[in-house]
Chain A
Amino acid sequence: MIEIKNISKSFGENKVIDDVSFVFEQGKTNLIIGESGSGKTTIMKLMVGLHEIDSGEILYDGLNFPALGVKEKQEVRKKIGMLFQGGALFDSQTLEENIQFPLDMFTTMSKEEKLERVNFCLEKVQLTNKNKLYPGELSGGMKKRAALARAIANSPQYLFCDEPNSGLDPKTSIVIDNLIQSLTHEFNITTIVITHDMNSVVEIGQKILYIYKGKHWWTGNSQEILKTTNPELVDFVFASGFMKEVFNVVKNK
């Protein structure tokens, strides 16, 4: 479980995160949604320590992450897996080397054990036998899946996914969403997904935090979001004609 308590962050005069609190539950896919520029990615970067908070607390199972020393932070980070928006795979390494990398760094596994783990992770993301391919040889969807495989290689307790569906077609998006959800449940991970893909929200949003202009604006789940009357959230969720139709169906039920 990760709890953020009253976190705030400013860049110069611009306050991008304003007193946000939320509990990201273990074994659930926790979603952070909001318009572009609302502060979603900043919250994630604050949570993993890529930015420093101005005030507040970020508790990883009770451990206040920002207050930890460099070594202690590194220990917490070893339990984190992260899927970046662009994948962030190491270009000069094959998929096998990419996935094996955290195992090389932090485990005493034998070569055979590492290979077994790599193959297990590749199988989980449906990339079996793609070990020797380089990131440059993969499609966008395959890159995301490969990055997901690397993120789970070291059996993380916390999984962060930054816009896992961006730039993907709807079918591949569903594959990624299902993968994230199944991994979360199977390994009982605390998963945090940043998205503004409404299909993902409806499909995997077990707990949703809606951020509006850097503030905690709404909390709920995928069912509640379709019935919301919060005007800003209604504007965001039902911005497309398709979602408006969904809304009307739900309302008339």
Chain B
Amino acid sequence: MNLFFHLGRYFILIKRVFSKPEKLSVYMRQIIHEIDNIGISSLPIIAIISFFMGGVITIQAAFGFTSPIIPLYALGFTTRESMLLEFSPTIVCLILAGKIGSNIASEIGSMRITEQIDALEIMGINSAGYLILPKIAAGILILPFLIAISMFLGIFGGYVMGIATGACSSYEFIFGIQAFFEPWKLWYSFSKVITFAFLITSISSYFGYYTHGGALEVGKSSTAAVVYSSILILIFNFILTQLFFT
């Protein structure tokens, strides 16, 4: 029953979010602000994590590939496939659900408990649209770029670690990352990213928007936003993988 209550309220909120903006220029300004807030500020953490994870994938693969029939270029291939298919689109989005999700939920939740959302409503502004639409739009616009950077840095990290540890040569790694490349897998990855961007921003906004009480409840909303965004990312990851691979 509780699930249906939340689902119903979530979809009603989303309907309000996508109603016609009062003034497009103000919304556009907000989107740019949110791109900076959501996207650009997340770049350093994504860069560090991706670079080192790419390196670790390569080292682990080199350690595991002991059979002489497995060519060394398989290291580059494995790193590319891992980064493109799963690590960058899913794991990085899970990390972003923690960073962006809690940020959005606490920001909107604080606005709710300090009556700032009521103030917007009384001004005659669709508060759901004004606060949430720019976040969703910014997330959908900027996350694919962040994930593309993550993919690149992950593979680059694998290349650097592979060479540095002597696991393979530069030629073998580069040959590996080009081998058996299927472009549709990029579509699959970026479809996931766009879906996850929508889930993270909308679910976190939902929990923030319906915060009641005080600082304690803002904290609870942030936690719920991260937990539910993460769970739904995993569920949709499974669904999209099934759709694309069958």
**Chain A residues packing against B (C-beta within 8 Å):** 48-50, 73-78, 80, 82, 84-86, 88-91, 101-102, 104-106, 154, 160
Our pick among B23, B110, B115, B126 for the contact of A104 (Cβ within 8 Å) is B23
Are B124 and A77 in touch, CB under 8 angstroms? yes
Q: Given that A78-B124, A105-B123, A105-B125 are contacting pairs, would A84 and B26 also be in contact in the complex, using a CB cutoff of 8 Å?
A: no
Which of B22-44 touch A at CB < 8 Å? 22-23, 26
Are B124 and A75 in touch, CB under 8 angstroms? yes
Our pick among B116, B122, B124, B126 for the contact of A90 (Cβ within 8 Å) is B116
Are B116 and A74 in touch, CB under 8 angstroms? no
| B110-121 vs A, Cβ < 8 Å mask (1 yes, 0 no) | 110011101101
**Chain B residues packing against A (C-beta within 8 Å):** 22-23, 26, 110-111, 114-116, 118-119, 121-126
Q: Given that A84-B115, A86-B115, A88-B115 are contacting pairs, would A77 and B23 also be in contact in the complex, using a CB cutoff of 8 Å?
A: no
Our pick among A49, A73, A78, A91 for the contact of B123 (Cβ within 8 Å) is A78
Write out the residue numbers on chain B whose beta carbons fall within 8 Å of the beta carbon of A84: 115, 118-119
Write out the residue numbers on chain B whose beta carbons fall within 8 Å of the beta carbon of A91: 110, 114, 116
Our pick among B23, B118, B119 for the contact of A105 (Cβ within 8 Å) is B23
Enumerate 5 A-B pairs (CB-CB under 8 Å) in ascending A order: A49-B121, A49-B122, A77-B124, A88-B115, A90-B111
Write out the residue numbers on chain B whose beta carbons fall within 8 Å of the beta carbon of A106: 22-23, 124
Write out the residue numbers on chain A whose beta carbons fall within 8 Å of the beta carbon of B26: 104-105
Q: Given that A105-B23, A106-B22 are contacting pairs, would A77 and B116 also be in contact in the complex, using a CB cutoff of 8 Å?
A: no
Min distance, Cβ A91 to any Cβ of chain B, angstroms: 8
A90's nearest neighbour on chain B, judged by CB, is: B116
Write out the residue numbers on chain B whose beta carbons fall within 8 Å of the beta carbon of A75: 124
Bound CA–CA A145/B115 (angstroms): 17
Bound CA–CA A105/B126 (angstroms): 11
Bound CA–CA A148/B27 (angstroms): 25
Are A77 and B121 in touch, CB under 8 angstroms? yes
Q: Given that A77-B121, A77-B124 are contacting pairs, would A105 and B115 also be in contact in the complex, using a CB cutoff of 8 Å?
A: no
Min distance, Cβ A194 to any Cβ of chain B, angstroms: 14
Are A50 and B118 in touch, CB under 8 angstroms? yes
Write out the residue numbers on chain A whose beta carbons fall within 8 Å of the beta carbon of B110: 91
Are A50 and B121 in touch, CB under 8 angstroms? yes
Write out the residue numbers on chain B whose beta carbons fall within 8 Å of the beta carbon of A89: 116
Q: Which 6 A-B pairs have the closest CB atoms?
A: A77-B124, A78-B124, A88-B115, A88-B119, A74-B124, A84-B115
Bound CA–CA A86/B116 (angstroms): 9
Bound CA–CA A27/B203 (angstroms): 45
